[in-house]
Structure 1
Amino acid sequence: MPTNEEITRHHDADPLGNPWVVGPPPGETVTIVPHNPEWAHRYQDLAGKIRAALGAAVLDLDHVGSTSVEGLAAKDVIDIDLTVADPRDEDAYVPALERIGYVLTIREPWWHEHRMLRFAEPRVNLHVFGPDCPETIRHRMFRDWLRAHPEDRARYEEAKRAAVPGGGTVMDYNGRKEKTIREIYDRLFRAAGML
């Protein structure tokens, strides 16, 4: 189990690291849409297909990100955390996921051995981590905090909407809302007695 220090540590991208497996994807316009109750059903369908493809290789599967928070506007992209025994052992999960349409897009060995596969339609970002990863704990804590704290949910939605007009890549958009995300993490970590 990760320590509080590991869980509360913020990740900064490696400025020298190149995460793209086959180069960055083409630019896309970030669009925020109202919460869609179908997102929860879409996740259940996707999760069933991932479990069927991977079988016992799935140690955990979780709907995270903004589409997992009822009432929160979001990009129409389902974020899923997949826990496998060892993300570095790509042969244990990537070929099976490729057979059902996922494409390995990101490989970040410097960040908890993170891998990310994309599914085109419906849009999915499938994040792969190993057991007891601090990042999957952070994702669940952030999701659950937003579900239980409407004031921070509204604050986060406002930050998301304010980040869109800046244009650029999705990474640029993410960077513009980072200050608000870290403020919310600080509140939830303090409330949990972790800071």
Structure 2
Amino acid sequence: MPFPDETAPVAVLDYRPQWSVDFERLAGVLREALGGHALAVDHVGSTSVPGLAAKDCVDVQVRVGAVDADRQTALLAAIGFRRRPEPWNRTEVSGGQECRKLVFAPPVGARRCNVHLREAGGPNVRFALLFRDYLRADDTARRSWGAFKKRLARSVPDLADYGQIKAPATEVLMGAAELWAAGTGWRVPEA
């Protein structure tokens, strides 16, 4: 759930090249703050896909050797990032496996983002990168997914409701992504 400073109706915007610039800046800040904890910093989610409509919130995935809630939270809190407290921001099921994670909101007043710390090699890391790479590669899927999100946001402006409705549709999309991965030999990019 959003923190009080993050409340706003869901709005899905046309792709903005600024999103990749914003990611690069965030990635530098996170690498510096996390030091050796950050094995890789990936731009994931819809803002990482050129041409895809998205909410104006940059998703960042930090691959770590192990989730260390106390240490990693302290390192990010030192630069103003706030750990999201909900249970779904501590674990997620991916590939039939329960995976630990931590999700952080930006400092108050900073650029909207979600920072996901996930264990390198986990199926949830693969899921995020496959989502991105599939939509980068398939024009029809990218256009259709963007159109779906725009229609959904117009109909369901509440973030929690939007997410609940989008989740099963994402599973359908990822079924197609898995077929694409098998057909192309796609693999998780190196950390």
Provide TM-score, normalisation by structure 2: 0.81
2 CA distance for matches of 1:44 and 1:134?
Answer: 24
2 CA distance for matches of 1:127 and 1:107?
Answer: 13
Ranges in structure 1 where 5+ consecutive residues have no aligned partner: 1-19
Given the alignment, which residue of 74, 97, 100 partners 1:113?
A: 100
Matched, 1:25 2:3: yes
Matched, 1:47 2:27: yes
1:148 alignment partner AA? A
2 CA distance for matches of 1:75 and 1:142?
Answer: 16
Q: Secondary structure at the match of 1:135?
A: helix
1 CA distance for matches of 2:157 and 2:177?
Answer: 30
Match of 2:55 in 1: 75
Matched, 1:125 2:105: no
- Which deviations, in whole Å up to 9, do the C-alpha atoms of 1:13-45 show, x marking residues without a partner? xxxxxxx7xxx6344310111111011111111
1:25 alignment partner AA? F
Q: Secondary structure at the match of 1:50?
A: helix
- Which deviations, in whole Å up to 9, do the C-alpha atoms of 1:113-132 show, x marking residues without a partner? 12110004200100111121
- Root mean square deviation of aligned Cα: 1.9
Percent of aligned pairs with the same residue?
Answer: 29
Offset of residue 177 of structure 1 = 2.4
Contact 2:12 2:150 (8 Å CA) reproduced = yes
2:43 alignment partner AA? H
Q: Secondary structure at the match of 2:121?
A: coil
Given the alignment, which residue of 187, 191, 194 partners 2:180?
A: 191
Match of 2:76 in 1: 97
Provide TM-score, normalisation by structure 1: 0.80
2 CA distance for matches of 1:178 and 1:90?
Answer: 26
Offset of residue 192 of structure 1 = 2.6
2 CA distance for matches of 1:147 and 1:92?
Answer: 34
Matched, 1:173 2:162: yes
Contact 2:41 2:60 (8 Å CA) reproduced = yes
More strand per residue: 2
Match of 2:188 in 1: none
1 CA distance for matches of 2:77 and 2:3?
Answer: 17
